[in-house]
Amino acid sequence: MRELIQRLFPQLEAFEITSPRDGRYNCIAWAAGDTTRWWWPGEPQFSFWPAGVRREESIGSFIEAFATLGFEPSDSGNHHAAFEKVAIFASRDDVPTHMARQLPDGSWTSKLGGLEDIAHVDVTGVAGSDYGAVVVFLHRRK
């Protein structure tokens, strides 16, 4: 499995697999601290999205979804002991693709679709052709 992840994310240098494969939740749910649902602003019958937030695949919709959890835009992904941070990734056409959550030690955790969770030192380690790049950091006070 490690080889597969390395092949999917060639920029990933230091990482650790931290869960078994689990198709019950995705990266957005994992960033939100939910391991029971598949979060996405798609068709309501197939995925969860916070009530009242527009269901469209836009960066704004993702920011609004996490605002319901108390997150607001942050200047950077730099570690700050007083804040919990998440990162929104998007493709070149600004369609969200992935989210990662900062761990208490400043490293990051990502759920890789229906695969495993990983801890990775550099948030940009999972950037690339499939996940695009980090476009927004959000934070909330711990």
Partner 1 sequence: MWDARDRQIAEVAGSDVEEGLTVAFEELVLSWSSATAHLSSPTKLVEHPAYRQIIGLGPAVLPLILRDLADSARFWFPALNAITGENPVPDDAAGDVARMTEAWLGWGRANSLI
| List of residues contacting partner 1 (CB under 8 A) | 5, 8, 22-28, 36-40, 42-49, 57, 95-98, 111-115, 130
Reduced to 3 states, what is the DSSP secondary structure of residue 86? Answer: strand
Q: How deeply is 34 buried, as exposed, middle or buried, from its count of CB atoms within 10 A (0-12, 13-18, 19+)? A: middle
For residue 87, the minimal CB distance to partner 1 (Å) is 14
Using the minimum distance from each CB to partner 1, give the nearer residue, 111 or 120.
111
For residue 46, the minimal CB distance to partner 1 (Å) is 5
Using the minimum distance from each CB to partner 1, give the nearer residue, 7 or 141.
7
Using the minimum distance from each CB to partner 1, give the nearer residue, 19 or 80.
19
For residue 80, the minimal CB distance to partner 1 (Å) is 26
Using the minimum distance from each CB to partner 1, give the nearer residue, 33 or 79.
33
d(CA 17, CA 9): 13
For residue 66, the minimal CB distance to partner 1 (Å) is 15
Residues 6+ apart with CB under 8 A from 63: 71, 73, 88, 136, 138
Cα of first residue to Cα of last residue in the chain, in angstroms, is: 33
d(CA 13, CA 118): 12
